[in-house]
A = this chain, B = another copy of it.
Amino acid sequence: MLVREMSRQECEDLLARLAFGRLACARDNQPYIAPMYFASEPGHLYGFATMGQKIAWMRLNPLVCVEADQVLSHTEWSSVIVRGRYEEFPDIPEYSNRRQQAQSMLEKARSLWWQTGVAAAQTRRDFDRDITTFYCIHIEEISGRCASHDPVEHSWPLAES
């Protein structure tokens, strides 16, 4: 397997194509991961969620990490990692335009973009439309790696090179 670093443009293209990844947040140094549908543009990811542990933790600590990957086989994969900062778009007049922009981008990225968050909240029996939220991840660092098949076969333990 040959692994190489991806360019920033390749990373952004992968995020736009997948529109799905995993978001990690942390409280008292305990990390937590949740799957996340998102819309992306250079520098930002946009998401939608119902209130739950993820949002509660990000309100306390906005430092997050998002990972998105495409695994075609063990030796053919791409993975992008974003370090970023959470910003909530609360349902108040000052954020009206930004909420509409986030919703519009999510609609373009994926039909039924709201469905997973709502269904998850309904499972918790705490769904209330008043506590849905739109949010943005400001991308502070982005990196990616992609792997392709190596015509030279290696074995473990690796031979001295």
Contacts and interface: CB of A to CB of B under 8 A. Distances in A.
A83 interface: yes
Interface stretch (A7-15, A90-98, A153-161): A153-161
Q: What number of copies of this chain does the assembly contain? A: 2
A65 interface: yes
Interface string A17-39: 00010101111111111110000
A147 B5 CA distance: 35
Interface residues of A, number: 51
Contact of A32 (B61, B65, B122, B123): B65
6 contacts: A3-B120, A24-B32, A31-B64, A75-B112, A75-B115, A114-B156
A150 B30 CA distance: 34
A61 B28 CA distance: 11
Given A118-B158, A119-B3, A120-B3, A31 B147 contact: no
Query: Which DSSP category, helix, strand, loop or mixed, fits chain A's interface?
Result: strand
A67 B145 CA distance: 20
Given A3-B123, A29-B63, A145-B123, A35 B69 contact: yes
